[in-house]
Amino acid sequence: MTKGGQRYYLAYDQVGTLRAVTDASGNAVKRVDYDSFGNVLTDSDPLFAVPFGFAGGLYDADTGLIRFGYRDYDPDAGRWTAKDPIGFAGGDTDLYGYCLNDPVNFSDSYGLMSTAIWGEVGGGLLVTPVPGARIVGGAILAGTAGYAAWQIWQNWQENTEDEESPCPEGDDDHTPVKPPFKGEPGSTVQGKKQSRTYGKDGKPQTDRDLPHPGGPKQERKDHSHDWGPDGRGPARDPKPGDPPQPKGF
């Protein structure tokens, strides 16, 4: 990237999110950290503007939205602002849902369909590199100074306290991690990470999920989702009549 007549090198993570910028000498210029759904947690130099945001989308500072091809994404809600233009052909039963609610392992560059990140090296996930880029520990490093950018970001990550996952795998009692999409009408299935109540047609009626520490605010605690014609709705507080908490609590 060239800015003000100077050349800079960019380091991305597995989903294409910009994490670090260095100058031609390998000096750190900017470091950015996001939560799993794209909310900026820290930015070492907000005045050094870079158009590329979460997952490679174009960030709009005025609205706080991120543009991906056909749709805008709202990181605060963890959802698209419009329905999927290709409907259920996009592969998600929630037409407003972002990357099957798994933005760590999926990306959607066009706002149409989630794509799984392929490959794995040293615990890092890989995406297809751009010409002249290098892949180190799962980050795409553009240019010869990319490795320095990666080292800066990696050292910073290692010095950041890791959150313990609230989603234990549970014991080997044949309990599903998540209930199947269709079930016995009127029944409830309690999984390890999600519980689900089915409607009269056997389709999902209400889900209750484990907290997602890196997700939108409402999803960082015990929460439920109601299903409707457009798929799974946004998170809300649990209420009487909802499925029980997942066994992973």
SS3 149: helix
How many structural domains does the chain have?
A: 2
Other Cβ atoms less than 10 A from the Cβ of 37: the count is 25
Look at residue 59 and tell me if it is in a domain: yes
pLDDT in tens, 197-242: 999 998 899 999 988 776 678 888 999 999 988 778 888 999 999 9
Domain containing residue 111: 6-119
Same domain, 106 and 199: no
Nearest-Å Rg of the Cα atoms of the chain is: 20
Q: In this structure, is residue 94 part of a structural domain? A: yes
User: Tokens standing for 57?
Assistant: 């989308």
Distance CA 213, CA 219 (A): 8
Residues 90 and 195 in one domain: no
170 inside domain: no
pLDDT at 63 over 70: yes
Q: Grade residue 150 by pLDDT with cuts at 50, 70 and 90.
A: very low
The token pair that represents 9 in the structure block: 């090198």
**Residues belonging to the chain:** 249
Segment (H or E) for 20: strand 18-23
Kindly report, residue by residue over 151-174, the tens digit of the pLDDT.
544 554 444 434 333 333 444 455
- What pLDDT was estimated at residue 155? 52
Residue 198 in domain: yes
Per mean pLDDT, which of 108-112, 131-135, 136-140, 166-170 is the most reliable?
Answer: 108-112
Which of 119, 143, 165 is the last residue before a domain boundary? Answer: 119
- Alpha-carbon torsion, ordered 161, 218, 30, 131, to 10 deg: 100
Domain boundary among 119, 154, 179: 119
Q: What is the pTM of this model?
A: 0.51
* Cβ–Cβ < 8 Å for 117, 127: yes
Q: Is residue 210 part of a domain?
A: yes
Name the token pair of 157.
């990550």
Show which of 87, 119, 151 is a domain's final residue.
119
